[in-house]
Amino acid sequence: MSFKVINSFKVNVFGAALVVMTSAYAQSPYISKVYEYRPAPGQFVNDLPEWEEGDDENDMRIKAEECLVDHEQIMISLGGWGGYVVFGFDHTIPNVKGQYDMKILGNAFYANANPNDTTALGGSAEPGIVMVSHDANGNGRPDDAWYELAGSDYYKSTTKHNYSCTYYRPSASHVATPDTDYPYLNDTTYIRWEDNYGESGYISKNIYHKQNYYPNWIEEDSYTLTGSRLRNNGIDESGTGHYYVLYCFDWGYVDNQPNTSGYTATDEVMDVEIPHVSEFMIDWAVDSEGNHVDLPGVDFVKVYTGVNQYNGWLGEASTEVMDAWDLHMLDADGKEIPAGIRDIKGENEDEDGNNHKGNLVGGIFTLDGRRVEDLTKPGTYIIKGRTKTKKIVVR
């Protein structure tokens, strides 16, 4: 079988055909492995996923993996500030300039019952910061340099970089201190935390979640997490502790906007259109000094809770994660591109000199508009990409 590209690319026909037929079969757009799971204390910890007697750190990693891999979409909680999960795909997600490369799903939603009737988007937004790593040493493990994807608040003065927070397990003799004026909280001094900015506080325990909030599988009586801390985004709009609104950041964070599929979302509650919901560009990557880093792609992703705030009966701000996608392997409707229908890759330049290496397609069709699942039958086809349409002939 041979391919001929008409009026689109200057390519080696045999080599292009080989890549088209071999590069996509074994790959999935979704998470394939969880490498590490270490949440901060929180009301869903030991529950999402569930800890069982005898589970150690690797057992909990496997449970988190079972929730996230292969598009399972079972939510895990990262707990309070700094709690994190590290996951990866079965391939390198390419950094395609000018395009969104990944989508990461949480459980954020909007609310329209704000008593102060603000137009700002808010509801339950528990922003998680994203870090990425390229497997530069090629050993298949997340032990290379990490880079933060700089979201909308990265360069603002309200963001604290090089932040660290230490959490302490409650002692066996700990006596609960309930809030007598606020019956939702039955222990306001439950888990103490201290940071490197001289601040301290507690993750309270509430009446809705009775299990331990400190990860049962962590043997140490304290542990420290590091990263960037975003400004507090939760406001008690009722003034009485009964209606908290967690406001959304503009862009660039997980669990910050609702999980509407596709590249533009119209939320039914707030009736607003938000472009590129929960999507991320690898080109946002910066080093520890905030300098742009040009990565060829990413192999590993780390998401951690970015806000350190307790919001009354809602509990601590805790990022939840339920899925992640390589957007280059999905079409414009968010559907997986069938195996064998990637764009022709290689040193492919169109007549204008634009290189299309790594640009994956959105679908392949017959001349009369019928979608084709593979390229095994001879004929003339139309390949529709995100930005270009081209015709090929299969012989």
Q: For 33-61, what is each residue's pLDDT tens digit?
A: 999 999 999 999 999 999 999 999 999 99
Asked if 138 and 48 sit in the same domain, the reply is yes
Asked if 293 and 224 sit in the same domain, the reply is yes
Average pLDDT over every residue of 146-150: 98
H/E run at residue 60: helix 57-68
> Mean pLDDT over all residues of the chain?
84
Nearest in space to 317 (alpha carbons), one of 158, 152, 82 = 82
Asked if 99 and 187 sit in the same domain, the reply is yes
**167-181 tens-digit pLDDT:** 999 999 999 999 998
**The predicted structure's pLDDT at residue 374:** 63
Residue range(s) defining the domain that contains residue 271 = 33-329
pLDDT top residue among 382 and 220? 220
Asked if 321 and 342 sit in the same domain, the reply is no
**The predicted structure's pLDDT at residue 10:** 27
* 259: confidence class by pLDDT, cuts 50, 70, 90: confident
Question: What distances in angstroms separate CA 240 from CA 124, 202, 244, 249, 309, one per listed residue?
Answer: 18, 20, 10, 24, 17
Does the pLDDT value for residue 279 go beyond 80?
yes
3-state secondary structure at position 314:
helix
Domain stops at, among 276, 297, 329: 329
* 378: confidence class by pLDDT, cuts 50, 70, 90: confident
Does the pLDDT value for residue 102 go beyond 50?
yes
Does the pLDDT value for residue 21 go beyond 50?
no
H/E run at residue 68: helix 57-68
Average pLDDT over every residue of 157-169: 98
**Order of strands, edge to edge, in the sheet holding 160-168?**
200-206, 185-195, 160-168, 222-229
DSSP string, 13-27: HHHHHHHHHHSSTT-
* 272: confidence class by pLDDT, cuts 50, 70, 90: low
Asked if 138 and 270 sit in the same domain, the reply is yes
**The predicted structure's pLDDT at residue 83:** 98
Asked if 14 and 72 sit in the same domain, the reply is no
Average pLDDT over every residue of 289-315: 97
pLDDT top residue among 113 and 324? 324
* 13: confidence class by pLDDT, cuts 50, 70, 90: very low
Asked if 86 and 229 sit in the same domain, the reply is yes
H/E run at residue 61: helix 57-68
DSSP string, 213-264: SS-TT--SSEEEEEEEEBPP-EEETTSSSS-EEEEPPSSS-BTSS----SSE
Does the pLDDT value for residue 125 go beyond 60?
yes
Asked if 20 and 37 sit in the same domain, the reply is no
The pair of structure tokens assigned to 287 is 């080093």
Asked if 364 and 288 sit in the same domain, the reply is no
H/E run at residue 279: strand 279-280
Domain stops at, among 272, 305, 329: 329
Asked if 159 and 231 sit in the same domain, the reply is yes
Asked if 89 and 178 sit in the same domain, the reply is yes
Say how far apart CA 83 and CA 224 lie, in whole Å.
Answer: 10
* 14: confidence class by pLDDT, cuts 50, 70, 90: very low
Average pLDDT over every residue of 113-117: 80
**The predicted structure's pLDDT at residue 19:** 32
Asked if 346 and 201 sit in the same domain, the reply is no
**328-354 tens-digit pLDDT:** 888 766 777 665 554 433 333 444 444
Count structural domains, the chain.
2
**Order of strands, edge to edge, in the sheet holding 379-385?**
3-6, 389-394, 379-385, 361-366
Domain stops at, among 329, 359, 378: 329
Count how many Cα atoms sit within 13 Å of the Cα of residue 85 in the half-sphere of its side chain. 33
**The predicted structure's pLDDT at residue 184:** 92
- What is the percent of the chain where pLDDT is above 70? 77
pLDDT top residue among 257 and 229? 229
Average pLDDT over every residue of 185-214: 97
Average pLDDT over every residue of 294-298: 96
Question: Could you tell me if 225 and 304 are in contact, meaning their C-beta atoms sit under 8 angstroms apart?
Answer: yes
Say how far apart CA 291 and CA 169 lie, in whole Å.
Answer: 37
